[in-house]
């Protein structure tokens, strides 16, 4: 059965926007067969004959973030915070994503905090927001910004802090082949941006063992 269509746009050099129809499952499998043949193998070979199906299934899981809405995840909030006015933070959220440049995985951890004003959200929803953006093609820098913006827009907190520490396989398995090199990106808004001591508390929590 074909996957549901998604509304997408393509912007060409003339800046004209045209609708992009999501390919069918069979078209996606045919594209995988083409890549197998381009790599030098025979897509009809017994060992890889079912690979297109597996790859398409894997892509459906790896990139399911396109079909999810972070704002919806953050829409159910709780206003009974009983005077709580300090940091809410989640540490070591698993990040499994793919870079948009080579479609290679990058894996790591996210640390996310916000300073509530008059409402909070279930802690699992913060982890879910990270997962939604991770399961899309983008750069780590963009994802860090997206997570901060989503929390800021939905919860209207006094501030948001996001740090992601990840290893990119486009750097470790190709190109320069440097292993054990991680990339750290941060984004601070509100009080985390203006208050150095609060920002340091967040970083201390990140480094706490």
Which pLDDT tens digit goes with each residue over 91-121? 999 999 999 999 999 999 999 999 999 889 9
| Burial classification of residue 96, based on how many CB atoms lie within 10 Å of its CB (0-12 exposed, 13-18 middle, 19 or more buried) | middle
Q: Which of the four pLDDT bands, split at 50, 70 and 90, describes residue 14?
A: low
Q: Which residues of the chain does CATH 1.10.286 include?
A: 8-62
What pLDDT does 5 receive? Answer: 44
User: Which CATH code is given to the segment(s) 70-207?
Assistant: 3.30.1130.10
Asked if the model's pLDDT at residue 133 lies above 50, the reply is yes
* Owner of token pair 């997206």: 146
Closest CA to 183 of 203, 169, 196, 173: 169
Question: Of residues 176 and 34, which shows the higher confidence score?
Answer: 34
The class level of CATH for 8-62 reads mainly alpha
Q: Which residues of the chain does CATH 3.30.1130.10 include?
A: 70-207
Compute the average pLDDT of residues 129-136: 97
pTM as predicted = 0.85
What CA–CA distance (Å, rounded) separates 107 from 88? 24
The token pair that represents 55 in the structure block? 């790859």
Asked if the model's pLDDT at residue 198 lies above 90, the reply is yes
What pLDDT does 1 receive? Answer: 37
What CA–CA distance (Å, rounded) separates 71 from 153? 8
Q: Which of the four pLDDT bands, split at 50, 70 and 90, describes residue 72?
A: very high
| Active site positions, annotated | 99-102, 140, 168, 170
Q: What percent of the chain has pLDDT over 70?
A: 92
């Amino acid at each position: 059965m074909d996957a549901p269509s998604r509304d997408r746009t393509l912007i060409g050099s003339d800046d004209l926007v045209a609708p992009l129809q999501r390919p069918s499952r069979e078209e996606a499998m045919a594209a995988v067969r083409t890549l197998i043949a381009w790599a030098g193998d025979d897509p009809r070979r017994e060992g890889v004959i079912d690979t297109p199906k597996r790859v398409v299934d894997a892509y459906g899981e790896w990139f399911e973030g396109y079909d999810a809405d972070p704002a919806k995840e953050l829409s159910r909030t709780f206003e009974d915070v009983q005077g709580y006015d300090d940091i809410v933070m989640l540490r070591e959220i698993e990040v499994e994503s793919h870079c948009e440049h080579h479609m290679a995985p990058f894996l790591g951890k996210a640390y996310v905090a916000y300073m509530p004003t008059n409402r909070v959200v279930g802690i699992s929803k913060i982890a879910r927001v990270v997962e939604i953006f991770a399961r899309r093609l983008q750069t780590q820098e963009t994802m860090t910004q997206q997570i901060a913006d989503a929390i800021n827009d939905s919860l209207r907190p006094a501030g948001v802090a996001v740090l992601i520490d990840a290893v990119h396989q486009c750097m470790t398995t190709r190109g320069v082949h440097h292993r054990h090199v991680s990339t750290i990106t941060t984004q601070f808004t509100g009080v985390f941006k203006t208050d150095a001591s609060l920002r340091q508390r967040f970083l201390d929590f990140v480094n706490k063992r």
